[in-house]
Amino acid sequence: MMDIHQILKQLPHRYPILLVDRVLELEKGQRILALKNVSINEPYFEGHFPHRPVMPGVLMLEAMAQAAALLAFDMLGVVPDEKTVFYFAGIDGARFKRPVEPGDQLLMDVRLERTKAGIFKFKGVTRVGTEIACEAELMCTQRTIA
């Protein structure tokens, strides 16, 4: 398990783009279960959509990628620094099954499928309760920047 203080040491993201509040389960090199509390105070709800606030799908994908990065960093035994970034390399099969609204708790269940030549492939499923909100295959890579 990881609380917000440990997450902040691992991920370079900060408000308003930090989308992981807690790690509930972590199976080294295999799987992570992370939580995002969705609040009406999120800045994107002001415009998406004012009459019926809904979390943008791309942010659900970003939340899964942030959880995937935590899994990868734990597997590699590294703490990223300001010269390390974990980028999307691809997204396949993204499907959105239900809207995510203020007050929901988004659970990101991300599994490492394989890693090859510095590319990590993950299968992610986000749920609200037992209902699937979003699912996708994510490819990510770690890079050092100058």
Task: Report pLDDT digits (tens) over 59-112.
Answer: 999 999 999 999 999 999 888 888 888 899 999 999 999 999 999 999 999 999
Q: What is the pTM of this model?
A: 0.96
Task: Report pLDDT digits (tens) over 29-59.
Answer: 999 999 999 999 999 999 999 899 999 999 9
Whether 5 is a known active-site residue: answer: no
| Confidence band of 145 (pLDDT split at 50, 70, 90) | confident
Per-residue CA distances from 1 to 11, 112, 118 (Å): 15, 17, 26
- Cβ–Cβ < 8 Å for 58, 130: no
Strands of the sheet with 31-37, listed across from one edge? 22-27, 31-37, 105-116, 119-128, 131-144, 84-96
- What are the residue ranges of helices labelled H in the chain? 4-10, 57-76
Which DSSP string corresponds to 37-57? E--TT-GGGGTS-TTS----H
